[in-house]
Homo-oligomer: A and B are copies of this chain.
Amino acid sequence: MADINVSAVSLRPSEPSNERQAGGPAYDLIELLFFAYRDFIGDADERLAGLGFGRAHHRVLHFVNRHPGMRVADLLDILKITKQSLGRVLRDLVEQGYVVQKAGQADRRQRLLHLTAKGETLARDLALVQTRRFARALHEYGPGAREAARKFLTAMIDPAAREEVERLIARAERADPKR
């Protein structure tokens, strides 16, 4: 592999040569993100497994909690899965009393999604263990750490999707400005 660094991208162009080499794949970061996400997800996985739920259920709980009254189509857009895949987990969640669907008042074709009290409790529990992980990771950095993390994670998202995600978050925060 003589050309190992040919198409390399400089990670820190402003840094000359002191620490580590700037070119070449950032294997360490790739690996760390892999493990970080594995454990981040693992927090919730344990709790969910006890209820017979999987990650698909978690994602639905999360987004419905965060955007109460969202349409099924919105959820499909966000999760980028098919109606059929969503249908299965949504049915589980409705049958077991975590989610309710209410017909839209303006457009009665819509089945607007809401969590029940039971669903909200679970969603919050799941979010809190994950929040605790973020809190621990950001603890030692200064006051700007949270904003920095937010900016960094945003920059990791596809430019095409970024705006949409930012709008999504802004909307949720407007709806619930307390947190």
Please name all residues of chain B whose beta carbon is closer than 8 Å to the beta carbon of A42 when the two chains form the complex. Answer: 158
Give the contacts of A1-23 with B (CB-CB under 8 A): 1, 4-5, 7-15, 19-21, 23
- Which one of B21, B39, B138, B139 contacts A161 once the chains associate, using CB atoms below 8 Å? B39
Q: Is the CB of B179 within 8 A of A21?
A: yes
The residue in chain B whose Cβ has the minimal distance to the Cβ of A15 is B143
Q: Is the CB of A31 within 8 A of B165?
A: yes
A142 at the interface (CB under 8 A from B): yes
Given contacts A11-B138, A138-B11, A146-B12, contact A153 B29 (CB under 8 A): yes
A25 at the interface (CB under 8 A from B): yes
Q: Is the CB of B128 within 8 A of A9?
A: yes
Interface string of A22-50 (1 = CB under 8 A from B): 01111111111111111110100000000
Copies in the complex: 2
Q: Is the CB of B32 within 8 A of A153?
A: yes
Most buried by B among A5, A12, A19: A12
Please name all residues of chain B whose beta carbon is closer than 8 Å to the beta carbon of A120 when the two chains form the complex. Answer: 1
Count of residues in A whose CB is under 8 Å from the partner chain: 79
For the A-B complex with A133-B156, A134-B156, A149-B152 known, give 11 more contacts whose Cβ atoms are closer than 8 Å: A11-B134, A12-B138, A26-B135, A29-B149, A30-B131, A31-B165, A33-B153, A36-B153, A39-B158, A137-B152, A148-B148
Residues of chain A whose beta carbon lies under 8 Å from any beta carbon of chain B: 1, 4-5, 7-15, 19-21, 23-40, 42, 59, 62, 66, 80, 117, 120-121, 124, 127-128, 130-143, 145-150, 152-158, 161, 165, 168-169, 172-173, 178-179
